[in-house]
Amino acid sequence: MTPAIEAPPVAFTEANIDHRHLPDTDGSIVTNATEHSQSILLTTSLTPLLEARHPDGRFFVGADVGIYWRLTTPYLSGCKSPDWYFVPDVPGMLNGDFRRSYVLWQERIPPLIVIEYVSGDGSEERDRTPNTGKFWVYEQAIRANYYVIYDCQIPLIEAYRLDGTRYAPIAANAAGRYPIADLGIEFGLHRAVFHRVDLDWLRAWDSATGGMLPEADERTDGVTRQRDAESKRADEAAKRADDAGKQLDEATKQRDAENKRAEEATKQRDAESKRAEEATKQAALLAQRLRDLGIDPDA
């Protein structure tokens, strides 16, 4: 990435300077190897929620993207680059161009949430020095509604909400998580292996359901598990139907056998009845002959 020139050939003011003219990097290196993975976790888990809240797509998520809060010389002294932040109600791109930075005096909408990952002892993230300290700039200049400090080494979370002109600490709830009321979520720690790193990661939970918001792979795994469960239920239902069919076949065979036995019994009874009738007829004929011969058959 090539930074914009620090001393442009024309005089820029807040009215005519934009993200294309301002430096988009200070040349510093990432000091925490987990930062990229942590930002992926936050972005992929929160994006479905943000898209649901902003169906028009008007929101911006930045990770190590500078926020210019004042026009100074040098330019970078008026810029802070939070590790992760979310701005509502602004386009994700500007006139078809990806954002090189977020220029606050042009956009006028401050971030709702700013998050810093502690790399050292945390003093930089808590620095209240006017015009230079991160805490002061986020509180007094950028005025993000929420400021979250995440330290994966201890591990701990500190969360603040802008109350008037000052950040007020947010107390952890009974679950040990920090509510972000404007989004209906809670930030907390979750131990897991992500990108082959076993860590207490900063994660978000749904305040209404208490469920952790899944990141991309977890959603894929969840869909796979759901599909497997549905397939298993379908197989079990098919087996039950097959078993019921077999039972019906057996019952039908048994009924047919019983009907056949009943028919045989009826035939046998009819035959016996016919034989009895024939015997009765023969006996009557014999008795009549005896009478014709003058013999009393009943004597």
Portion of the chain with pLDDT greater than 70, in percent = 83
Joined together, the tokens standing for residue 287 give: 């008795």
User: Quick check: pTM over 0.95?
Assistant: no
- Choice between 266 and 191, residue whose per-residue pLDDT is larger: 191
Give the per-residue pLDDT at 279.
Answer: 79
Please measure the distance between the N-terminal and C-terminal CA atoms of the chain and give it in whole angstroms: 136
Joined together, the tokens standing for residue 4 give: 């914009």
Give the per-residue pLDDT at 224.
Answer: 42
40-61 confidence digits (pLDDT tens): 999 999 999 999 999 999 999 9
Cα torsion through 231, 237, 243, 244, rounded to 10: -160
Give the per-residue pLDDT at 30.
Answer: 54
Amino acid at 194: F
Label residue 191 by pLDDT band (50, 70, 90). Answer: very high
Give the per-residue pLDDT at 298.
Answer: 78
The pLDDT of 147-169, averaged and rounded, is 97
Give the per-residue pLDDT at 167.
Answer: 98
How far, in Å, CA of 122 to CA of 151, rounded? 8
How far, in Å, CA of 235 to CA of 217, rounded? 26
The least confident of 17-26, 81-90, 175-184 is: 17-26
Amino acid at 10: V
Asked whether residue 260 carries a pLDDT value surpassing 60, the answer given is: yes
The least confident of 83-97, 132-146, 155-169, 227-241 is: 227-241
Query: Cα 239 from chain centroid?
Result: 32
The pLDDT of 60-69, averaged and rounded, is 95
Give the per-residue pLDDT at 2.
Answer: 38
18-37 confidence digits (pLDDT tens): 554 555 455 565 566 789 99
Query: Angle formed by the axes of helices 216-292 and 35-53, to 10°?
Result: 60
The least confident of 62-71, 108-117, 275-284 is: 275-284
CATH number of 35-211: 3.90.1570
How far, in Å, CA of 266 to CA of 275, rounded? 14
